[in-house]
Chains A and B, each alone.
Chain A
Amino acid sequence: MQEVLFYIFALLAIAGALSVILQKKTMYAAISLVITFMAVSIIYFLLGAQFIGLLQLIIYAGAIMVLFLIVILLLDPFSEIFLRNQSLAWVGLAVLLGAGLFGILYTAFGQAPVEIVAPPVPPGELTGHTQSLADVLFKQYLLPFEVISILILVAILGAVILAKKRIS
């Protein structure tokens, strides 16, 4: 059952991701991205990581993509913007970069000693994931966590300063 669901949603995620780059209309591309995010979050659920799956939904699908959609809507609401890039040089560069990324990931996963497939989660034992994640974040890796939050704070302040009206 879980395996079937995994293949369904993995295919959906890949189809959505392909649709993002193949769609000609920006709005449809953005909606395809939403579908990809949802499918990925369901895969997290299947692995038993409810907390991360829900954060994926709230942050990416629920907040960031809505902002994307609003921006697309404000740019040019009715005439469809067509995305086109026919320059062969760019296509070649994209293929090269993609192949490079694939190579890096392939070697990384090939060398990794960790078990990538999560142990099957018995039904009814889906509790404690938020707690165990919190234990790791706030006890084991407290310093890196705080450093990352300072980084985000700096980014937010930068955005505020960029958006602020200049008083001459």
Chain B
Amino acid sequence: MNEYLIIALKIVFVLMAVLSLAAILTWLERKQSALMQDRIGANRADIFGLRAIGLFHIIADSLKMFLKEEFVPPGAQRFLHTVAPLMSAFFALSVAACIPFGKLILDGQTIYLQIIDLNAGILYLIAMMSFSIYGVFLAGWASRSKYSLLGALRGASQMLSYEIAMGISLIGIIMIYSTLSLREIVYAQGELLFGFLPAWGVFLQPVGFIIFLTAGMAETKRVPFDLPEGESEIIGYFTEYSSMRFGLFFLTDFIEVALVAMLMSVLFFGGWNIPYLQDTGFVFPWGGSLAMSPLLASLLGILAFGVKVVFFCWLQLTIRWTLPRFRYDQLMKLGWKFMLPLAMANVVATGLVLVLLD
């Protein structure tokens, strides 16, 4: 029974972590865009005069979403129209099931903050990310509107194209750490290269990291890859959605931003690892060491993962508010004629280096 309780607690923890990060990102997006455009940003929502730098806008927004009228267009496929936003959020959240958030060492026992460590974890990631197409696609089709349909077509073809580059960029990581399990990949990144450099994915696979970052941003369907949405031209696949059904699509985008940030920290930036920090404290390659209890070290690791995730969320928001939208042909050219060959070349180069070193 105890086992099931731990799993249930883990599920609650992971869902809460991802959802609250996504909710905070909606606020962060407004504040950061305001900062970058020399504005003040959302700060009006208050409770008894307390404004808390606009944080109450998260509650106000969600209340607004829930209270608005739900409208299904007359020609729509009712069932699919209702199911599409649920699917979109469900598949995005299920990616989080195999992300290792950290480990907790209590009395010599190690508890992993990870719902399940699949033997083929990376494949699970790719599978769940590829399913996020269905939400977009069915939403666009079931709405029976030209603009939704255009958005759905663009979305499906964009996500399909970039998924391939993303999958191939991860093959390099799989080859180097020779495992598909995310937990083992994080452990492998705790080693040191040449005695001083942490064996993080970004040092071993710099090209793979850049491809993954680009393809990951394309999967989130936000500027500069927001063609499925295209606010200024077609509104996109959720044109015919209102109230919380639209809210779910809106939230899914931010969940995906959070997930891409988590995946980048796990796959390329060592997950819960801090350079030179082991279970018993810091051991520096130049001699010194700093002892600490395993519990403190593991808590520091969880904190480090959080800091990395927040950093990558910030990076994605910064890119989103810096670059303009791609044209459709530019998007396809970048995906198929530049990123795909580059990812393949990366795989071949990694293989050659591994064979030569062997």
Contacts and interface: CB of A to CB of B under 8 A. Distances in A.
Partners in one complex: yes
Interface of A: 27, 31, 34, 50-51, 54-55, 57-58, 61-63, 66-67, 69-70, 73-74, 77-78, 126-130
A128 to B, nearest CB: 7
A78 B157 CA distance: 19
Given A62-B130, A62-B131, A51 B123 contact: yes
9 contacts: A27-B141, A51-B120, A57-B130, A66-B130, A67-B160, A70-B137, A77-B141, A130-B119, A130-B180
Contacts of B138: 31
B156 A58 contact: no
B325 interface: no
A149 to B, nearest CB: 15
Nearest to A128: B119
B149 interface: yes
A129 B160 CA distance: 28
B119 A66 contact: no
A54 B152 contact: no
Interface string B132-154: 01100110010010000100110
B134 A58 contact: no
A74 B133 CA distance: 16
B147 to A, nearest CB: 12
Nearest to B157: A70
A50 B156 contact: no
A39 to B, nearest CB: 14
A95 B271 CA distance: 56
Contacts of A61: 127, 130-131
B118 interface: yes
Contacts of B235: none
A126 B181 CA distance: 11
Given A58-B126, A78-B144, A50 B131 contact: no
A58 B123 contact: yes
Given A127-B119, A130-B180, A66 B141 contact: no
B156 A69 contact: yes
B326 to A, nearest CB: 20
Among B80, B118, B144, max chain A CB count under 10 A is at B118
Contacts of B131: 57, 61-62
A118 B126 CA distance: 27
B276 interface: no
B127 A66 contact: no
Interface in B99-133: 118-120, 123-124, 126-127, 130-131, 133
A62 B119 contact: no
A73 B153 contact: yes
A41 B158 CA distance: 26
Interface string B184-219: 000000000000000000000000000000000000
Given A62-B131, A73-B141, A129 B123 contact: no
Nearest to B137: A69
B153 A129 contact: no
Contacts of A128: 119
B153 A57 contact: no
A34 B153 contact: no
A58 B130 contact: yes
Among B119, B133, B141, max chain A CB count under 10 A is at B119
A90 B89 CA distance: 43
A25 to B, nearest CB: 9
A27 B84 CA distance: 14
Interface in B326-346: none
B181 to A, nearest CB: 8
A70 B80 CA distance: 16
A62 B149 CA distance: 20
A9 B157 CA distance: 30
A129 B137 CA distance: 33
B149 A77 contact: yes
A54 B141 contact: no
Contacts of A31: 80, 138
Contacts of A55: 123
A66 B137 CA distance: 9
Given A27-B141, A62-B130, A66-B133, A126 B153 contact: no
A63 B119 contact: no
Nearest to B149: A77
